[in-house]
Amino acid sequence: MAELLAIIIGICLLLAPQIIAGMIARSTGRKFWFWFLISFLIPVISIIILLSKKDKSTNKGFKLADHVKKPV
């Protein structure tokens, strides 16, 4: 049982940079799976590249309700 737990923890630690890169990519409007796979080749560099790129997501904050006027 302890061996199985060690294997699962090891796999999670090995996939951590890929998952982090994918989540950063998704939050900045980029493709999760593309950056997940790129991160296998260059794990730390891909995260640095993603953090330095401009955010291209269209979701900027919360959507206001219909009855709320936008501030000028």
- Model confidence pLDDT, tens digit, residues 45-59: 999 999 999 888 776
pTM of the full structure: 0.70
Cα angle 34, 32, 21; round to 5: 90
Number of folded domains in the chain? 1
Position 28 in a domain: yes
Q: Is residue 57, in this structure, part of any structural domain at all?
A: no
| 6-24 confidence digits (pLDDT tens) | 999 999 999 999 999 999 9
Instruction: Kindly state whether residue 48 falls inside one of the protein's structural domains.
Output: yes
Please tell me the distance from the alpha carbon of residue 72 to that of residue 61, in angstroms, as a whole number.
16
Would 68 be classed as within a structural domain?
A: no
Domain, as residue range, for 35: 2-52
